[in-house]
Amino acid sequence: MIAEAKKKGSLGLSVMSKYLNIKSLFEAQADEERAVAMAAYQKNLFEFYGIPTPQRRKIYAEFLKAEKKTKTIDWEFLDACYADPHREFQYLAYDYLLRMQSYLVYEDLAKVEHYVLTKSWWDTIDFLTKVVGQLGLRDNRVKNLMLGWSKRDNIWIRRTAIEHQLGLKEQTDTNLLAEIIVNCLGSDEFFINKAIGWSLRDYSKTNPDWVRDFIWQHEEQMAKLSIREASKYL
């Protein structure tokens, strides 16, 4: 796919150069045995180079530092990362967005949504939620968008809505959290019910009484998995 894009000229030379440079660095440190194990852990849905997270992030640390100085998100480069079959490139895209999050604007969420819907699995979704959550602290329009996402059919879009406030502690909008979760109650989808429990468990570290009250009010509609996860620290 990348080769075809290069022939058509749809990727600029700088984008292609950046992509190929990272690719060569990944290939140089690939571990075939580890790659098999990493692929198996993700149910063989994706190819891997077999590079552990600390090592992978070290490979492109200087690259991300240089990219931040440009103060511009290179969406063409990120598209190239998502087009590559190796999962490490999608992880790079997340680390890139997190590093460049101060330059992310509300209109960019259309691109983030595209990545949520592309090669979807929990490993990248649970990273992209952080990008959405950080933007939500700066732009109130994200609240209504997440409410909309919580009513969508796609489970990964809904999971993103449920989890986007993870780690925000006192900055958590509890009214928003409650409304999003209520919109997703009654699901028999593991990844939705797990996300509900996870988001409540996370917030219970900040406000356990609020979480206890929420469970008490909605216990009949909540899946046992959600209640079990939410109650872990109560």
Torsion sign, CA atoms 205, 129, 94, 67: negative
CATH code (residue 87): 1.25.10.90
Residue 174 lies in a domain: no
Give the pLDDT confidence score for residue 120 in this predicted structure. 95
Domain containing 95 equals 2-167
Residue 220 lies in a domain: no
Name the domain count of the chain: 1
Task: In whole angstroms, give the CA distance from residue 36 to residue 50.
Answer: 7
pLDDT greater than 90 at residue 12: no
Residue-by-residue DSSP string for 39-66:
HHHTTT-SB-----HHHHHHHTHHHHHH
Residue 16 lies in a domain: yes
For the stretch 200-216, pLDDT in tens is: 999 999 999 999 999 99
* pTM exceeds 0.85, yes or no: yes
